[in-house]
Structure 1
Amino acid sequence: MLEVRDLRAGYGAVEVLHGVDLDVGDDEIVAILGSNGAGKSTLNNTISGLFPPFGGAIRFDGEDICGAPSERIVERGVIQVPEGRRVFPNMTVRDNLLLGGYRRGRANRKRNLDGVVAVFPRLGERFTQHAGTLSGGEQQMLAIGRAMMAEPRLLILDEPSLGLSPLLVEEMFGLIRRLHEEGLSILLVEQNVMESLALANRAYVIENGLITLSGPADELLDNPDLKRSYLGL
């Protein structure tokens, strides 16, 4: 579904990604693991068209989307839930959700809204509440619900567990599993190594803008380099 080849990207004159290769297949969860500053969000934002790449190739369903405008990439069904949720705090929960279907999924807005509420009943209870007054976990639900309004074919989740309590982290990963079981392909970008590898089909480890490890998630769980670098074992 998604093919990234020799991707170089960054900000201004500073190159952050130095030739990244990765794939996401149909009906897969692929995890991108790495510490702060490794280049994970740069990768997401470049795939999503928010920043132009320096070089390389990005294909989605065989179509070249490298350097395409973000709105075109959204229209193809590549939808990102950014790090930090980025809900519109002074707008209601309902209006935040409706904005998610602005470029894609508008014809099915009512059906999609009902689907989001079925997954997140708490959002339905807070339709008229301003998003900025929600808890961190509820805002993360809202950010994912907003993405679902766009009928994603590939959902990019950037640090969905960041800042959540251990109980909510467990709930969030359960939700991601459920979305995948319903047929959604997911690129999961996380620092939570154990939870991500337990959930994913395959995984990549990015360090200093380079992929340093990759393979089936269950094999990476037993990789001594990964255990030493990220788990202190």
Structure 2
Amino acid sequence: MLEISGLRAGYGEVEVLRGIDIAVHSGEIVAVLGSNGVGKTTLNHVLSGVLTPRAGSITFEGRSLMGAASTAIVEAGLIHVPEGRKIFPNMNVRENLELGSYRRAKNNRARNLERVFETFPRLRERMGQAAGTLSGGEQQMVAIGRGMMAEPRLLILDEPSLGLSPLLVEEMFTLIRKLNADGMPIMLVEQNVVQSLEIAQRAYIIENGIVTMAGTAESIASDPELKRAYLGL
């Protein structure tokens, strides 16, 4: 579905992505893993049309998105749930969710809203509540639900476990697995290496703006270099 080849991007004179190659196929969860500062956020900014790439190619379902506007990317069905949730705190839960269908799937808004509430029953209970008064886990549900409202062809989740308690992290990864089992391809961009590899089919490790490891999640999880670098083993 998504093929990224030789992607280079940065800010000013600083090059952050130095030739990234990543592919996501239909039906997969693909984990893109790395610590802070390796280029994960820059990659997501490029894929969302917020940052213009300098070189390489981005192809989504056979269509080039290289340098495309963010509105065109959303309309194509490549939907990004950003790091830090980025909800509208003074708007209620329903209003936040409905904004997810502003550029795409507007005609199916009622049906998709019901699907979100079936996935997140707690949001139905808090439909009229200001989103800024929700717990961190509930705000993450709003952010993911807002992405679902656009009927994503591919959903990019950026650090969905960030700032959550261990119990809510477990719940979040269970939800991601369920969304994928229901047919949604997911690109999971995370620092949480262990749990991401448990639910992903394939994975990429990014260090210093390049992919240093790629393969099945199982093979990467058992790689001695990964255990040394990320798990301290």
Compute the TM-score of the two structures, normalised by the length of structure 2.
Answer: 0.99
CA distance in 2, matches of 1:152, 1:64: 17
Match for residue 166 of structure 1? 166
Q: Which runs of 4+ in 1 moved over 4 A?
A: none
Match for residue 43 of structure 1? 43
Match for residue 12 of structure 2? 12
CA distance in 2, matches of 1:79, 1:13: 29
Q: Is 1:92 paired with 2:95?
A: no
Match for residue 73 of structure 1? 73
CA distance in 2, matches of 1:11, 1:178: 37
Match for residue 113 of structure 1? 113
Matches within 5 A, 1:1-233: 1-233=1-233
User: Once structures 1 and 2 are overlaid, which stretch shifts more, 12-21 or 142-151?
Assistant: 12-21
Residue 124 of structure 1 deviates from its aligned partner by 0.6
How many residue pairs match? The answer is 233
| SS at 2:112 equivalent | helix
Q: Which amino acid aligns with 2:127?
A: F
| SS at 2:9 equivalent | strand
CA distance in 1, matches of 2:141, 2:100: 13
Query: Which runs of 5 or more structure 2 residues have no equivalent in the other structure?
Result: none
Which deviations, in whole Å up to 9, do the C-alpha atoms of 1:179-232 show, x marking residues without a partner?
Answer: 000111100001111100010000000001010001000001100110000000
CA distance in 2, matches of 1:11, 1:141: 31
CA distance in 1, matches of 2:131, 2:113: 16
CA distance in 1, matches of 2:79, 2:50: 12
Which deviations, in whole Å up to 9, do the C-alpha atoms of 1:94-123 show, x marking residues without a partner?
Answer: 000000000001000000000000000101
Which deviations, in whole Å up to 9, do the C-alpha atoms of 1:61-107 show, x marking residues without a partner?
Answer: 11000110000000000000000000000101000000000000100
Percent sequence identity is 64
Root mean square deviation, CA, Å = 0.5
Residue 169 of structure 1 deviates from its aligned partner by 0.3
Residue 13 of structure 1 deviates from its aligned partner by 2.4
Residue 157 of structure 1 deviates from its aligned partner by 0.4
Compute the TM-score of the two structures, normalised by the length of structure 1.
Answer: 0.99
Query: Which runs of 5 or more structure 1 residues have no equivalent in the other structure?
Result: none
